Every structure is written in C-alpha cells, then in structure tokens.
Amino acid sequence: MFIRSIHLQNFRNYGRLDLDVGPSVNIFYGDNAQGKTNLVEGIYVASSITSHRTSKDADLIKFGENEYKASLDLTDDDGSNVQLSSCYYLEKSSLSKYGKPGRILIRDNAPVDKVSEYIGVCNIVIFAPEDLNIVKNAPAFRRKFLNTLISKISPSYFNLLSNYSRLLAQKNALLKSIKSNYKSENIDPQLDFWDFSLAELSAEIILKRYKFAKLISDIASKHHGSISGGKENLQIEYSTVFGVVGALETFLDKNSKYDEFMHKGLSEGDYGRIKGILSDLVLAKLKSVRNYDIDKHISSTGIHRDDLIMKLDGLVMKNYSSQGQQRTAALALKLSELEIIKMFVSSTPILILDDVFSELDKTRRMSLVSAMKDAQIFITCTDKNMIGDEIDVMGGSEKAEFYLVNSGNIEKKA
Ligand SMILES: Nc1ncnc2c1ncn2[C@@H]1O[C@H](COP(=O)(O)OP(=O)(O)OP(=O)(O)O)[C@@H](O)[C@H]1O
Ligand SMILES: [Mg+2]
C-alpha cells in the first residue's frame, strides 16, 4: 500500500496542508521545531487513530482551534484506491453534538462506527526516538506496543480490549463508591458479575498476547543477535496474572499443542478448554484480592497490569542494560513488528523513520534500512546530506523525493 497524498487541517502547527507524495522514499528535512514530526504524526494518526507520542488527542489540535482532520489518499497493492480520515473535536466544536469531545472516522466518504473496521485498513510502522520508552519505561508502553500490533492484525482483539476497558471502568466506579460497611450493601453479587465477565474476556486476551509475545520474542531476538554481532541474547517473556502462563504452557506441553497453537490455531474444543482453565484462574485471583481492592478502591490485579519482561543474557533490561543495548532492543522490537505485520497482512506496510538516523550508528542504520526494501518510506531529518548509503539500500536515490519543512509549510525540492 502507498500514500498518494496527505491532507491535514488544524493538526499541530499545520493550518492546512495538501501534499502529494512519491510512492518510494520521501525525505522531509528542515530545522528543529518546523513540523517534520508533526507531519509524520499526522500520517500515523490518519491510519492508526492514536499518536505515537501523546495519548491526549486534544494535544494534536492546532493551538486555538477546536478540531483537527488528518486524511490520506491511498492505493493498495492491487491498484484499488481508498481514502481514510480521522477527526477529533473538542466540546467547543460545531461537530460536538452532545457537548462532549469525540472522534469521527471516515472511509471513502462514509462514517465508520467501529474503530476495529478502520485500524487495519492501512498499516504503518513508525520508528521514532519514543521507541526507547518501550524498553526502558513503564509497563504501559509495552502493553501499548503489544496491543497496537495485535489490533492491526486482529480487529476482534481490539473489540475484546475495548470491552475489557469498559467493564473495568464500571467495576472501578463501583469499587470507588463502596463505603466501609460494604457487607451490608449487597455488593458481592455485583462484584461477582464484573469479575466473572472480566475473567472471561481476560482468558481470550491472554491467549492472543501470549502467542504474539512469543512471536515478538523469537523475531526480535534474531534481529538483536544480528545487530549485536551475535554477542547478546534478547528474550521477551509475557507476564500476566500469577500462575496463568504456567497453566497455559502446561496445557500446551501436555497435549503437544504448542505448534498448533502458534501456527494453525487450536481446535474449537481445545480452545474452549484452555479458555475455561485460564478464566477460572483469573477469576480465583480476582476474588482472592477482593477485600484489598475494596479497601483501596482499585483493581490491583488483572490483565490491565500485564507486561513484557525484556531480558538480555538473562538480566532484566530495564535495570541492567546500557543506552546502546536499549536502543538495539528497541530497534529489534520494531523490526519484529514490521516482520509480524508482513506475515499476517497481505498489503505492504508503509514505513516512517522519524529522526532515527541521528541516533543510530552505521550497523544499526543498515539493519534498519535493509528491512525496508520495496515499501513506501517517510524519513525526517534535520540535514538531508546525512542520508547517503541508506537511500541506496532502500531502493535507489533516483527514486527519493525531498521536501523542505519550514514553519508548518512544505515545499517539494528537486
Ligand atoms: N497543537 C499544536 N498547535 C500548534 N503548534 C504545535 C502544536 N503542538 C506542537 N506544536 C509546535 O510544533 C513545533 C514542533 O514541531 P515538530 O515536533 O514537528 O518539530 P520537528 O520539525 O520534528 O523538529 P525536530 O527536528 O526538533 O524534531 C513546535 O514549535 C511546537 O510548538
Ligand atoms: Mg521531530
């Protein structure tokens, strides 16, 4: 798939942008704070709805305005065209019918009601300095990485996550409302209901997360090995509610179902059995912490606390690894994302490299670009002369197009 043109309205420092782009390598250069990252963020938001650098949609609206729109005109590998638009408005906007902030998604001029029917249409993988957060920051960054990847491949997973978040918010509201004399308020049946529903959804989410964490671990470890010259061994382990991974692995081992689970998918009977085992375990755990949760008014346990534990030669990276090792691991993770999307999705993903070359040494830069042949690529940098050999590896300098970014304006250069 490739982008033919990009349209931004009131997005970050762009009042209005209508830009045609080339199908191969597009290089955006310019001084600091001119709008290079804002542009690629706009491209990413138009395809994936959320930004790679903020979770607050309101940040994306141009200062002083009430709504933004980010649109892409795209052509798929089979030659068919599609247009995607993602809008977000504040309660002050004329688009806000109910006086609340909200979002409008449009595909080919028709509104799309379900986010799950929008996010898989155009797959973009973005490499940015923020990727380092996945390795060194809080578990939420690793969950976002895992959730985004699985949602792009499996829209049903996105629906599971939304249902889980909604139920969890309702359960948390109930926990917050409980007074100290809760026994007399007949709260337990209500909590039983939420916990049962959450445990059922958790089992399905866990099965997806376990599988994709394994894939990420295998593929990222291969990339990490080749970038580090075979010196280091990266491993990624899925961490969830206590005892659950052990129970899943025992089930797969005992029944010799690991390969089937990873590649073909379990039979309906086996899937139902393991789902039952996992939801029972999660439910038991939720019940075991109930008094504590009531006391603290929080949901202390559950898959909303999941993590990916990254280890280098057996040591937890967050605690022991150097900056360089963390950079290599972040790059390896993102390369695994690209490879996994290619495995599951038929159309070629589009790639964005936001200011990454300046942070990587030659070996890492070459590992990055050699994974990128044949795709449409958007690169941002402050100095266009910084990119030399890389363009040749990516598909030839004769195909590269250059654009100067200056205060929210973009000019194509010869
Ligand atoms: N919501 C917004 N409305 C208007 N301007 C914004 C908004 N958010 C950020 N900006 C402005 O956009 C500019 C930053 O743009 P951007 O991050 O794209 O820079 P850049 O060209 O990528 O620079 P660098 O080379 O430093 O990475 C800043 O001047 C910032 O004030
Ligand atoms: Mg930038």
Which residue puts its alpha carbon closest to atom 18 of ligand 1? 35
Which residue puts its alpha carbon closest to atom 13 of ligand 1? 33
Which atom of ligand 1 is found nearest the CA of 405? 21
Token pair in block for residue 79: 């030659």
Among 37, 44, 65, residue to substitute to test ligand 1 (most atoms within 8 Å of Cβ) = 37
Which atom of ligand 1 is found nearest the CA of 382? 25
Among 12, 357, 406, residue to substitute to test ligand 1 (most atoms within 8 Å of Cβ) = 12
**3-state SS string for the chain:** CEEEEEEEEEECCEEEEEEECCCCEEEEECCCCCCHHHHHHHHHHHHHCCCCCCCCHHHHECCCCCEEEEEEEEECCCCCEEEEEEEEECCCCCCCCCCCCEEEEEECCEECCCHHHCCCCCCEEEECHHHHHHHHCCHHHHHHHHHHHHHHHCHHHHHHHHHHHHHHHHHHHHHHHCCCCHHHHCCHHHHHHHHHHHHHHHHHHHHHHHHHHHHHHHHHHHHHHHHCCCCCCEEEEEECCCCHHHHHHHHHHHCCCHHHHHHHCCCHHHHHHHHHHHHHHHHHHHHHCHHHHHHHCCCCCCHHHCEEEEEECCEEHHHHCCHHHHHHHHHHHHHHHHHHHHHHCCCCCEEEEECCHHHCCHHHHHHHHHCCCCCCEEEEECCHHHCCHHHHHHCCHHHCEEEEEECCEEEEEC
Distance 375 CA to ligand 2 centre (A): 22
Q: Which ligand is nearest to the CA of 13?
A: 1
Which atom of ligand 1 is found nearest the CA of 355? 27
d(Cα 247, Cα 253) in Å, to the nearest integer? 10
| Residue 34, ligand 1, Cβ within 6 A | yes
Query: What is the full per-residue pLDDT of the chain (414 aa) written as tens digits?
Result: 999 999 999 999 999 999 999 999 999 999 999 999 999 999 999 999 999 999 899 999 999 999 999 999 999 999 999 999 999 999 999 999 889 999 999 999 999 999 989 998 999 999 999 999 999 999 999 999 999 999 999 989 999 999 999 999 999 999 988 876 666 567 888 999 999 999 999 999 999 999 999 999 999 999 999 888 888 999 999 999 999 999 999 999 999 999 999 999 999 999 999 999 999 999 999 999 999 999 899 999 999 999 999 999 999 998 899 998 999 999 999 999 999 999 999 889 999 999 988 878 888 888 888 888 778 999 999 998 888 777 777 766 678 899 999 999 999 997
| Residue 65, ligand 1, Cβ within 6 A | no
- For the chain, domains (ranges, CATH) are 2-123+347-413 (3.40.50.300), 141-307 (1.20.1050.90)
The dihedral formed by the CA atoms of 337, 338, 341 and 347, expressed in degrees to the nearest 10 = 160
